[in-house]
Amino acid sequence: MAAKELYANVDAEALKADAADCMLHFGTEFEKDIITRAKGTSIYTADGHAMLDWTSGQMSCLIGHGHPEIVETISAHAASLDHLFSGMLSPPAIALGKKLTGLLPDGLDKAFFLSTGGESNEAAIKLAKSYTGKFEIVGLSASWHGVTGVAAGAQYHAGRTGHGPMMPGNLILPAPNAYRSIFRHADGTYDWQTELSYGFSLVNRASCGSLAALIVEPILSSGGMLVLPDGWLAAAKQHCAARGMLLIVDEAQTGIGRAGDWFAFGHDADAVVPDILTLSKTLGNGLPLSAVVTSNDIARTTREKGFLFYTTHVNDPLPTAVGLKVLEIVERDNLVAHSARLGGKFQSGLRILQARYGCIGDVRGRGLMAGLEIVADCETKTGAPEVAAAVADKMAKKGLWAQLSTMASFGGVFRLAPPLTTTEEELEKGLSIMEEALRETPGTMPLYGKVNGCNGSH
């Protein structure tokens, strides 16, 4: 049966009733629509309503849904080489390791492959603890790294309450937020250098002398698409080196071209190489695949120390074959350059909307990854999650899925990440739908014809 016909005649209301009866909630409300098809850059509800998917699933379908070469790769490996004993190696796992480390700079020389981003961060943190012989892990105050054990302990956006103590040794740095930080130069511009130094001074006071690693995302997506300022990673690595810590960079969402570079840690002119890199989401294009990549020195030392992270699906053939195909397609079709070029138009289009609607307090991001923060007052920066929710609902009805999480902690920030295969026509269509939704939703504060406004509009 063709994929597009697989769930063509479902009873959506009956499915919703069954879901209410049997589906366990995991921390967020389910969306009201049942999705029965995903193809290319769009998803479709049970009643046939099409929406451009500007979150790429869960920020994962980098080259769109149902890409024919990905479908072919899955089918071939499901039929001939799907899953093996964990200690066995296969051609696709080795080929993905060779391809990935070949794309990365020296110092990221050895890789292994797991299933989820949380799992890869769990492994990376354990690797850092093994190498350094220390146990304290520093995370950013708006971070999201996973919901398991030490990964959850290193994140501060959400998920820390209701289940007893976290792993010991978790410390916190202020997340860079140019829009809201209280650290300012005399002219009002963001002073991230002082903020970072102050944060590490607090880490020094809180530490028991066993600092192992700092884990960061180049763009904190769940934190509200907060972009690390130019130079931040290099300065952070200097702080880490002075304390004998490793730097772990989590590129679950930014990796493989999403933010306009192959890897976001390499964006700055003074780019530094992390000690450990984790990838997930985009690497598998929606399939559960993640990677941990590190240096020859860390790999050798931790092997000698008996490092163990043995899972059922480590280096599985089928998902690693998909990851290899994703890298091949992104490279062959010049999708990183496409992301940078189309991303420039994307960011510009969002800033035009900001100039037209006073509810858009801030636009931030890079490449095809952006955040819109919706506020009730652009002077006080008071959030307006109810306005954001109304705009999101209007967008969905008009044919654009632009996710606004139902978790209150997201605070009215749209997190946008269209597939890298998005065309200029689709980009313009999505931006047009956003404008229509903003124009038709109460509380968005149109600035047309006004000479004053927080966004410098006329």
> Which residues are the active-site residues?
144, 217, 250, 253, 281, 415
Cβ proximity of 213 and 302 under 8 Å? no
The helices-and-strands tally (H runs, E runs) of the chain is 13, 17
Rg (CA), the chain: 22
Phi-psi bin for 153: left (phi > 0), alpha (psi -120 to 50), beta?
alpha
Closest CA to 358 of 449, 430, 431: 449
Cβ proximity of 144 and 158 under 8 Å? yes
Can you tell me the distance from the alpha carbon of 80 to that of 62, in angstroms, rounded to the nearest whole number?
26
Q: What is the SS3 assignment for 36? A: strand
Closest CA to 420 of 284, 258, 265: 258
Neighbours of 166 (CB within 10 A): 15
Neighbours of 329 (CB within 10 A): 18
Cβ proximity of 173 and 139 under 8 Å? yes
Cβ proximity of 359 and 375 under 8 Å? yes
Neighbours of 455 (CB within 10 A): 19
The tokens for 50 are 């099409």
Query: Could you tell me how many residues make up the chain?
Result: 458
**Alpha-helical runs (H) found in 104-147:** 117-132
The tokens for 115 are 């299933």
Can you tell me the distance from the alpha carbon of 53 to that of 14, in angstroms, rounded to the nearest whole number?
25
